[in-house]
């Protein structure tokens, strides 16, 4: 089985789908000749030509707006927004147009746009290159929101997204593009080569949108998380010697409620972790779902570990990032609560 | 503090109680503006963006190089469509005033825009309309009864009760779904046109916004993308002088015409008499021809006047002179085409009156039929459970569960 990092897996997904379907095109800033600032589209313009891998002006609203029109005219556009932090000029087009078109026209018109965008911190990006705005999008009916945590899922979910007739916002946690990250910035970088999810088939396969994955089975508590924090939480639980079950949500909307609640019912304890700010965040939705379905199984209050409710500060990145220490504190809160 | 301010605040030429004053409108005599070849370079035809292309003169004659020389029968058909648009609007306005529908928007005074441009485009060209382009839907084959059922949100409503009245759509007629958010359709038209070019087809796209909406970012995104990729698209600005209560100067129209907005990007602009069906038709054919031959986008400013309130929720007597439309130098598009046909001996007052009566009867018959599919107060009603359809291609579990919960609470529309 080939080894791929997340960038290669994402590129491979687009390559495979573009080979299969001539209507798939890519539109975004620096995606063409240069191959993208994170190299995700490297080589695709050479292979598929400049009419299918199109360098766009710096106008996120224009990129998404034009992609919608292309989708209405039978193409299947992949729009790259260079950083999730830059998606806001396109927000109206996503919320008022892309998400609503099928509904308002009762299915006569739809536009199968996939918006790829790198998110998350841990790369010294400051507040304009580190945000995790997924909850802003999970709140919008009519779009689906996805965030993989490893190369295998990234490729399978991206192929499923591009082939879906629904619009999808596909978040790529850029801290783990090149390797899993356990939250310790002092440690040497680890590559995906040593990780089982770095094994990625060359050809076509999908990971269904709407399914969570048990990243690791455990019995003492459930940690519900996604993106970079899947790896941080696993490392934190290992360091503490806690037998945690790690659930990688990966499809934030639609949500695989059963996998999550089955786990919490089994362990009786639950911690939720995400990098995005806490207040009004996605963890609140998870916590509400869990208390509704698992209330009588819970032996402790559901705990949340998240980014602080501030912008992402450049110089205090590692005090902001929900690293192992904060996750460990969250685990202790849940484990030490009286049964 | 206020009297020290050096800020320029644009002000309209007349407010309620003032004498209407259109001296700010620069007009060219009919027939006086040169018609270039469709392959002309943008920099050589900049004059088109500040002069005013007109074919019909004040004596109802068609003249000059832009005269499309249409058959009288074709002009009679155009007149019929414009009249139908107006008669339909009048009836729907009344119906709203009677409380039978919640909201309406009329195109009064602007009918030539949709009708002339629909006539100039091909059926395979895609239209991305604004909310005052109902004439496009009519011309592209939407039945009056279907438009009325949409406004009634009844069981035959194409939008299944999800959209405000007048927000139609027709896939088969190639007219896009109307959004309530302004100018969002502009980049869609450009993207659609880009896809047409990518696929090697010769269909073009056209879109419409008002003078006010040119201030939206989407307008500028669309122009940039259209220019960068030379998309085969016609971008229309319907300058009806008013955006609810703010006059066209508030959108930046005081110093240069909206038609000149694209010049910096190399997009040719044409300023046309929007109440002159012949001129609108001619410039649209020119722009469509240019786009189809690979010449890229054209920005057309249609100078017209919003003859009625912005919508049924608006009262223009609060912000503009009541008699302003009567003083508008470009008149009424229906009256002008009618007088032209009469002048040429192809129409008469009697025929005109008879046609209006026929159209009124047609609209009334459609209204009677529409009500059979339900009204706001009498059934049959739409099934509220359908509100959970079409959010996604397939409803996810949580929507199915919400549908069940909604039905447990509300058995039918009367049970609230």
Active site residues of A: 129
CATH number for the domain that contains residue A108: 3.40.50.970
Q: Where are the beta strands (DSSP E) in B23-141?
A: 126-128
Residue A33 lies in a domain: yes
CATH number for the domain that contains residue A227: 3.40.50.920
Task: Measure B191 CA to nearest chain A CA, in Å.
Answer: 4
Residues A176 and A220 in one domain: no
Are the C-beta atoms of B277 and B80 separated by less than 8 Å? Answer: no
CB-nearest partner of B191 from A66, A89, A144: A66
Task: Measure A108 CA to nearest chain B CA, in Å.
Answer: 6
Are the C-beta atoms of B299 and B308 separated by less than 8 Å? Answer: no
Residues A306 and A249 in one domain: yes
Residue A231 lies in a domain: yes
**For residue A139, is pLDDT > 70?**
yes
Residues A181 and A66 in one domain: yes
Residue B212 per-residue DSSP state = G
Select from A198, A233, A252 the last residue of a domain: A198
Contacts with A200 (C-beta within 8 Å, 6 or more apart), sequence order:
A1, A2, A3, A4, A8, A9, A12, A151, A152, A155
Give the rounded percent of residues in chain A with a pLDDT score beyond 70: 99
Map chain A to HEC letters: CCECCHHHHHHHHHHHHHHHCCCEEEEECCCCCCCCCCCCCCCHHHHHCCCCEEECCCCHHHHHHHHHHHHHCCCEEEEECCCHHHCHHHHHHHHHHHCCHHHHCCCCCCCCCEEEEEECCCCCCHHHCCCCCHHHHHCCCCCEEECCCCHHHHHHHHHHHHHCCCCEEEEEEHHHCCCCCCCCCCCCCCCHHHCHHHECCCCCCCCCCCCCEEEECCCCEEEEECCCHHHHHHHHHHHHCCCEEEEECCEEECCCHHHHHHHHHHHCCEEEEEEEECCCCHHHHHHHHHHHHHHHHCCCCCEEEEECCCCCCCCCHHHHCCCHHHHHHHHHHHHHCCC
* Residue limits of CATH 3.40.50.970 in chain B: 26-371
Contacts with B6 (C-beta within 8 Å, 6 or more apart), sequence order:
none
Are the C-beta atoms of A65 and B184 separated by less than 8 Å? Answer: yes
Residues A129 and A264 in one domain: no
Pick the catalytic residue: B306, B320, B336, B352? B306
Question: Rounded CA gap, B27 and B53, in Å?
Answer: 9
- The dihedrals phi and psi of B18, each to the nearest 5 degrees, come to -85, 160
CB contact under 8 A, A72 and B188: yes
Question: Rounded CA gap, A63 and A81, in Å?
Answer: 8
Q: Which residue has the tokens 């770095």?
A: A198
State the first-to-last Cα distance of chain A, in angstroms, to the nearest integer: 46
Residues A125 and A218 in one domain: no
- Interface confidence (ipTM) of the complex: 0.96
Query: Looking at the domain B26-371, which fold is it?
Result: Rossmann fold (3.40.50)
Q: Mean pLDDT across the stretch A101-107?
A: 98
Kindly provide the b/e burial profile for residues A42-66, where b requires at least 16 CB atoms within 10 angstroms of the residue's own CB: eebbeebeeebbbbbeebbbbbbbb
Residues A148 and A180 in one domain: yes
Residues A12 and A136 in one domain: yes
The pLDDT of residue B412 is: 59
The alpha carbon dihedral of B246, B247, B253, B259 has a sign of: positive
Give the Cβ contact number of residue A111 at 10 Å: 25
Question: Rounded CA gap, A183 and A177, in Å?
Answer: 14
Residues A178 and A256 in one domain: no
Mean pLDDT of chain A: 97
Q: Which residue has the tokens 């056209």?
A: B206
Domain of A230 in residue numbering reads as 213-336
The pLDDT of residue B410 is: 81
Find chain A residues with C-beta within 8 A of B396's C-beta: 210, 253-254
Are the C-beta atoms of B155 and B164 separated by less than 8 Å? Answer: no
* CA distances from residue B142 to A101, A204, B149, B375 in whole angstroms, order as listed: 20, 43, 11, 20
Residue A285 lies in a domain: yes
SS3 helix, strand, coil % of chain B, rounded to 5?
A: 45, 10, 50
**What count of CB pairs under 8 Å joins A to B?**
146
Residue A205 lies in a domain: no
Residue A89 lies in a domain: yes
CB-nearest partner of A62 from B193, B224, B389: B224
Helix (H, G, I), strand (E, B) or coil at B237: strand
Instruction: Split chain B (416 residues) into runs of 10 and give each run's mean pLDDT.
Output: 87 97 97 98 98 98 98 98 98 97 98 98 98 98 98 97 97 97 98 98 98 98 98 98 97 97 98 98 98 98 98 97 98 98 98 98 98 95 94 96 91 59
**For residue A95, is pLDDT > 70?**
yes
Cα B270 to its chain centre, rounded Å, is 17
Residues A151 and A16 in one domain: yes
CB-nearest partner of B224 from A57, A69, A105: A57
Instruction: Decide: pTM greater than 0.90.
Output: yes
- Tokens for A246, please give them: 């790690």
Residue A114 lies in a domain: yes
Question: How many domains in chain A?
Answer: 2
Residue A51 lies in a domain: yes
Residue A72, chain B, CB below 8 Å: the answer is yes
Question: Rounded CA gap, B243 and B212, in Å?
Answer: 5
Task: Measure A181 CA to nearest chain B CA, in Å.
Answer: 32
β-strands A221-225, A270-277: how paired? parallel
Contacts with B190 (C-beta within 8 Å, 6 or more apart), sequence order:
A65, A66, A69, B205, B207, B222, B225, B226, B229, B231, B233, B235, B297
Number of H helices, E strands in chain B: 11, 7
Instruction: Please name the residue of chain A whose CA is at the shortest distance from the CA of residue B188.
Output: A69
* CA distances from residue A32 to A40, B155, B199, B279 in whole angstroms, order as listed: 10, 48, 19, 42
Residues A90 and A128 in one domain: yes
Question: Rounded CA gap, B118 and B138, in Å?
Answer: 10
The pLDDT of residue A337 is: 80
CB contact under 8 A, B187 and A166: no
Give the Cβ contact number of residue B34 at 10 Å: 13
Residue B56 per-residue DSSP state = B
pLDDT tens-digit map of A142-193: 999 999 999 999 999 999 999 999 999 999 999 999 999 999 999 999 999 9
Question: Rounded CA gap, A268 and A301, in Å?
Answer: 10
Confidence bin at A209 (pLDDT 50/70/90): very high
Residue B62 per-residue DSSP state = B
Which of B163, B195, B204 to substitute to test the interface with A, most A CBs within 10 Å?
B195
Residues A155 and A184 in one domain: yes
Residue A284 lies in a domain: yes
CB contact under 8 A, B191 and A70: yes
Number of residues that make up chain A: 339
Residue A185, chain B, CB below 8 Å: the answer is no
The alpha carbon dihedral of B237, B239, B244, B248 has a sign of: positive
The pLDDT of residue B198 is: 98
Residues A23 and A132 in one domain: yes
Question: Rounded CA gap, A109 and B176, in Å?
Answer: 8
């Amino acid at each position: 089985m080939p080894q791929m990092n997340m960038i290669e897996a994402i590129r491979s997904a687009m390559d495979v789908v573009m080979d299969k379907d001539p209507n798939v095109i890519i539109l975004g800033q620096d995606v063409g000749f240069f191959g993208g600032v994170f190299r995700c589209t490297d080589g695709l313009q050479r292979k598929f030509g400049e009419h299918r891998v199109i360098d766009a002006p710096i106008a996120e609203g224009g990129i998404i707006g034009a992609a919608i029109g292309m989708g209405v005219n039978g193409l299947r556009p992949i729009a790259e927004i260079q950083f999730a932090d830059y998606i806001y000029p396109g927000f109206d087009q996503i919320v008022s147009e892309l998400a609503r078109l099928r509904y308002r026209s009762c299915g006569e018109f739809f536009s199968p746009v996939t918006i790829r965008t790198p998110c998350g911190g841990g790369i010294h990006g400051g507040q304009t290159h580190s945000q995790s705005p997924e909850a802003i999008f999970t709140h919008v009916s009519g779009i689906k929101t996805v965030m993989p945590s490893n190369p295998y899922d990234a490729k399978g979910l991206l192929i499923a997204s591009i082939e879906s007739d629904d619009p999808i916002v596909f978040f790529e946690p850029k801290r783990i593009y090149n390797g899993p990250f356990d939250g310790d910035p002092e440690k040497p970088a680890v590559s995906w080569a040593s990780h089982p999810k770095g094994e990625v088939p060359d050809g076509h396969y999908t990971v269904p949108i709407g399914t969570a994955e048990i990243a690791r089975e455990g019995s003492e508590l459930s940690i519900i998380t996604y993106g970079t924090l899947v790896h941080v939480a696993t490392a934190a639980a290992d360091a503490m010697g806690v037998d945690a079950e790690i659930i990688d949500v990966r499809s934030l909307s639609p949500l695989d409620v059963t996998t999550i609640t089955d786990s919490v019912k089994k362990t009786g304890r639950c911690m939720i972790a995400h990098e995005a700010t806490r207040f009004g965040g996605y963890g609140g939705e998870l916590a509400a779902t869990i208390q509704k379905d698992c209330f009588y199984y819970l032996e402790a209050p559901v705990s949340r570990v998240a980014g602080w409710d501030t912008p992402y500060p450049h110089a205090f990145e590692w005090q902001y990032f929900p690293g192992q220490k904060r996750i460990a504190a969250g685990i202790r809160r849940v484990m030490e609560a009286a049964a | 503090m206020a009297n020290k301010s050096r800020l320029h605040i644009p002000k309209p030429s007349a407010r309620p109680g003032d004498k209407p004053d259109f001296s700010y409108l620069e007009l060219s005599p009919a027939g006086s503006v040169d018609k270039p070849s469709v392959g002309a370079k943008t920099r050589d035809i900049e004059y088109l963006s500040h002069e005013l292309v007109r074919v019909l003169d004040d004596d109802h004659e068609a003249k000059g190089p832009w005269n499309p020389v249409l058959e009288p029968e074709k002009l009679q058909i155009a007149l019929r469509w414009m009249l139908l648009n107006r008669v339909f609007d009048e009836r729907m306005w009344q119906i709203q005033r009677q409380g039978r529908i919640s909201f309406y928007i009329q195109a009064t005074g602007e009918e030539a825009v949709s009708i002339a441009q629909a006539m100039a485009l091909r059926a395979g060209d895609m239209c991305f309309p604004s909310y005052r382009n109902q004439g496009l839907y009519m011309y592209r084959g939407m039945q009056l009864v279907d438009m009325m059922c949409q406004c009634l949100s009844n069981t035959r409503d194409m939008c299944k009760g999800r959209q405000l009245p007048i927000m139609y759509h027709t896939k088969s007629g190639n007219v896009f779904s109307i959004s309530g958010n302004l100018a969002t359709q502009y980049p869609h038209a450009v993207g659609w046109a880009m896809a047409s070019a990518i696929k090697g087809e010769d269909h073009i796209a056209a879109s419409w916004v008002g003078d006010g909406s040119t201030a939206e970012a989407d307008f500028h995104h669309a122009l940039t993308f259209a220019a960068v990729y030379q998309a085969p698209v016609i971008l229309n600005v319907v300058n009806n002088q008013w955006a609810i209560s703010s006059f066209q100067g508030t959108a930046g129209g005081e110093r240069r015409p909206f038609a000149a907005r694209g010049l910096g990007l190399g997009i040719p602009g044409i300023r046309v008499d929007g109440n002159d069906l012949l001129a609108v038709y001619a410039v649209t054919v020119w722009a469509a021809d240019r786009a189809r031959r690979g010449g890229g986008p054209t920005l057309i400013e249609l100078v017209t006047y919003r003859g009625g309130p912005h919508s049924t929720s608006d009262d223009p007597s609060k912000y503009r002179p009541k008699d302003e439309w009567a003083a508008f130098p470009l008149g009424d598009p229906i009256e002008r085409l009618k007088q032209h046909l009469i002048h040429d001996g192809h129409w008469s007052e009697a025929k005109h009156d008879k046609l209006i009566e026929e159209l009124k009867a047609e609209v009334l018959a459609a209204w009677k039929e529409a009500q059979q599919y339900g009204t706001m107060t009498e059934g049959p009603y739409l099934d509220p459970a359908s509100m959970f359809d079409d959010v996604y291609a397939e409803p996810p579990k949580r929507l199915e569960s919400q549908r069940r919960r909604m039905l447990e609470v509300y058995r039918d529309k009367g049970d609230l």
